[in-house]
Structure 1
């Protein structure tokens, strides 16, 4: 028993999970203290995520698992909440508590989502790098800009947490270890059908590039992938199929990206591409610059290191499969006609597949950090820091002489300074620290601090912009609980899902 416990501890999973949990806890600490244990943010988190979890909790405990009159004008529970709640293992943990306690429980479960994302990413990354560097990459993935901007979309973090299992399952299959991809697909099918579709598209792209010119020789591997993929979907079909059938009734599915929008045409769009790669993520409902808002979940920022290490890898390993995937992925984000493929050509043109690219960016970052002497890290960091400084200063000139570019000066300067400081620190640590052990410690400390700052700052801004304190939010929930209706056919008209 002791040997088994020692083996589990030495594998690194427990340490990475605990480190990520601590990081998330420190990120949310200020909001939890101010909220007296209540955790709220704003927009969809307050108006959908919390009420939805409370509704499902009540429905399951009352046995009302079929048609539910509390959903809009009435709807099936599984079809309606297979996307938001029912597939999340963290939601089922919350069902152990009374529905009214969810605003108090949600932060601790959110921390677990970050920890799970780091642990699952670590399992994939350590196949290619040493454990310490895999841990650094896991933190970059779990606390990326994509995670920060999507804080108000609670259920997105489940998909991010378990996606690395898909790539790990594929790598196992590649090594002849069958039977591991299917459960990974099943988990992701249960968690969220929408993201699974994007993940399958990405996995196909991953296979094509990973195997390169050996596709015919890898036909058996392709067949095994298909078999395990279908088996995994069948295993997760209890939620996957009802959710898909429910969604197929949505008339918006017939809306596709018009030909005129296949390419970006304005300077703002290309500035947005650059900023999402180099600087910390913006709030979707109130951006500090370029656009007033953007609901496409567009950020691929890695805490502190940003684009520097992936760019080093691309420039050094031009023909390597990972470099090709990274360069291609970055190009796809800048071309709507390609980007929309992940959303089945929907007219929304969301960037909600970016966490998959971020996992590969984290892998490249870990590999470059592990063999830093082989890569031009100092030069790339210096060039990017200078470029980012010019962009920041130029944005003020642009706003004054061309058209409005900066919406919130204080927030814009905060994020710009953070992005530039991260580049400078990455370059300085690489230049000044010779010892490998100290290098990992210094890089880890810097990434740890940036994870806390970017995640915590984004959460604080979301809550500040909501215009409502956590205590006021809970008071509204309690007031709603005191209302009574003659029977289930009656409704209460309200401006959101809270009341």
Structure 2
């Protein structure tokens, strides 16, 4: 099948698809058999474990439940503080058609099915490519070469183990371009509408990139087919594309509309990227060259291309083939890679992560197939130019091989490149028979396949990038989820409404509460409730990150945990010192490592009535401890209009601690000091400031906090050709407890925000130790405008009395389900029902059978104005755009049918 006498002469047929499929399976067997036998998996230790496989597993469980008649829960209390299911899963699983194949496998084969479906996605990348190039009458051999180059391109092999759903746009893009091609050729627009719908449902983030990319393709192809002189023809073609695009978006609306709403209200950076968008730093441009033929990337600019791409690009350039669609698109995409503005634009005006570069292997593969077919037109000077290119890259990679001690990693692609060149040189100088030429074609395609396979191995295995090392060991993920808390979750009571927390040391706890079906707060998702993020920022939670607003036990802050209904904390026994005061250990395991369950009697109920309020603007003027104190006595509202409760009278005060800062560590130097402002030069990693507390013994029985305000950092001695790394880590140490917090680098666009302040809970002190330390891990200049230490007295009896008061005014919950909460409350006076339900538009409420308006309470949560007397309250949740989206999808289906009928009638005349 692969070796055929008509290798380059016959068109793409079913045999081509069969040959591709067979060789794909054999290649995967060769590459990945060793990978899996070595214990590797496609579950990355970071996002793979805590997001991709975790959500795949749970979403398959949900769909299997739907098939059993359990219905689809639109809200899930185990996702962080509670979240919309469509919004939470939509980015990862809901629109991915391959995920639904997972329901065919039992739970015992869940990890096997996850891996198998990644291979299915990879296989479909090549199928999509072959479907596209068949329209251009590519030959059997050219189609196979391009399919191998595209299927095993770096973007695919990298994301197979990192972000599996990132493979999807490589499947959709060729089919979208084919849909545009058919419309421009005055054929049916059905494929285009369907692919627009599929890609919009699959992932709105990549749909944006795909839209821009196929729009550019459409402009390029229209110019090639018709030029731009005929305005009427241009209007007709553009109009047809627009109509079918709109129909596709309408078809997708049932998922696309809720996802867009979730994105627009999500927790994310509000500012643009904090870098220069005019030009990259020099290291980026050198990396572009270096990474071309070895499996690496820089700012998601795709590398790891086949060395044959060098031949194809030179061929396009020297033979004036840039007027082809592949040549023109490569020029445009190459231009996009040169300037960060285009990268930012393609990333939704966020940071220039060049994830659009997945399209580059597509057009390079297309160009390589054309070169394979037309290489007989190659002249001696082109062959010489290719040789010079190989010499240049051989020198670059030889230097890199010796510098990094990675010889096979750099030698293999160059050795294969020279083999390809010698075959072409031999062919150009000799009068060969057709059969020999055919064998050379087969050899070139085989070398390309070998090139792509070895690129994958160079990425995965120890002689190269060894990325297998950052994956979870095969067939262990489910056990890791199960044993997250050492089985101690089994001691938690059932049929009660409470939340479960962790400590500041439990950074590995992210989405795993979903697996255990527990109500926690920790979450790690690309789309997270923006109001919760505002709450976390307002409270200056040191653990806050953009897409992880309420994480790591909220820095072990006692009152914050009480406010959010955290009754139990699960953690390892070694973290016991980080438990907030008042959380007593009620269970210990005897395993190694040992785990504990702690409980407090001072946590607030899930929903309770307040008699006092404070406006958001006034609340924002307080320091974080004062804010916590206010939240124990009042509710924060955005407006007082229509509210029948009085403003809070007394703002709780917090005591500041006099202190002295010692700069005697020889690893740092005080550069400037103006009143409270300090500029420090850290010369060595690990340098630390000593903060001596005056009259510290007076603060025994207090919680201590430190507040660093006006933080700014500048690294020193950054080479001119490298980007300035603005990330740093600060560690705070007191009484044996240690907490590290990080300012991410401005180039980490997904997580970057500038930490102007750090407010850190140092914990409870029984003795009043008089010294704490601030340690700097990164060298450079640190500016700190102000350092304040606070002491907050702790009285467990007072805490319990306050909690009892809230319970006396609590909503008596009789029904607590994912989408419905029912309860009653009795009031002598009007008040505000304060809940820990995240503020989402889909929640509605009925009081005594009458619909009422909800208000935004405590910044991130739902509140309800209460009248005096008895109130029967029913909270209900439905995604607010699901119904509208369903109607629009039906409208899209109707329009698609009408357009198809009209098109058929026209074609019959």
Q: TM-score, normalised by structure 1?
A: 0.85
Q: Deviations over 1:375-409 (max 9, x none)?
A: 35633431222111222345589xxxxxxxx6xx2
Matched, 1:424 2:418: yes
* Structure 1 gap segments, 5+ residues each: 1-6, 285-293, 398-405
Match of 1:372 among 368, 372, 375: 375
Find the aligned partners of 1:307 and 1:250 in 2 and give their Cα distance.
Answer: 43
- CA gap 1:351/1:93 in 2 versus in 1, 3 angstroms: same
Which runs of structure 2 are paired with 1:50-449 in the superposition (5 Å)?
A: 50-62=53-65, 63-128=71-136, 129-151=138-160, 152-178=162-188, 179-212=190-223, 213-214=227-228, 216=231, 217-252=233-268, 254-257=270-273, 260-264=276-280, 266-276=281-291, 278-282=292-296, 294=298, 296-316=299-319, 317-346=321-350, 348-375=351-378, 378-395=383-400, 409-411=404-406, 413-433=407-427, 435-449=436-450
Q: Deviations over 1:97-124 (max 9, x none)?
A: 2345322222221111111000001111
Matched, 1:490 2:491: no
The secondary structure found in structure 2 opposite 1:155 is helix
Which residue of structure 2 aligns with residue 287 of structure 1? none
Find the aligned partners of 2:460 and 2:101 in 1 and give their Cα distance.
Answer: 23
Q: Deviations over 1:42-77 (max 9, x none)?
A: 332233211111121223334453111222222111
User: Which of the pair has the greater relative contact order for Cα pairs under 8 Å at 6+ separation?
Assistant: 1
Shift of 1:20: 2.5
The secondary structure found in structure 1 opposite 2:483 is helix
- CA gap 1:207/1:303 in 2 versus in 1, 3 angstroms: same
The secondary structure found in structure 2 opposite 1:302 is coil
- CA gap 1:244/1:299 in 2 versus in 1, 3 angstroms: same
- CA gap 1:471/1:274 in 2 versus in 1, 3 angstroms: same
What is the root-mean-square deviation of aligned Cα atoms in Å? 2.8
1:304–1:419: 8 Å Cα contact kept in structure 2? yes
1:125–1:138: 8 Å Cα contact kept in structure 2? no
Q: Deviations over 1:332-365 (max 9, x none)?
A: 112111222211221x211111122221111111
- CA gap 1:467/1:45 in 2 versus in 1, 3 angstroms: closer
Find the aligned partners of 1:303 and 1:447 in 2 and give their Cα distance.
Answer: 7
Find the aligned partners of 2:191 and 2:20 in 1 and give their Cα distance.
Answer: 22
- CA gap 1:76/1:311 in 2 versus in 1, 3 angstroms: farther
2:304–2:455: 8 Å Cα contact kept in structure 1? no
Shift of 1:136: 0.9
* Structure 2 gap segments, 5+ residues each: 1-10, 66-70, 513-909
Structure with a larger share of its residues in helix:
1
Which residue of structure 2 aligns with residue 4 of structure 1? none
The secondary structure found in structure 2 opposite 1:218 is helix
Find the aligned partners of 1:64 and 1:205 in 2 and give their Cα distance.
Answer: 39
Q: Deviations over 1:452-492 (max 9, x none)?
A: 22223424456543275335544313424954443574346
Shift of 1:253: 5.8
Flag the structure with larger Rg.
Answer: 2
Shift of 1:437: 1.9
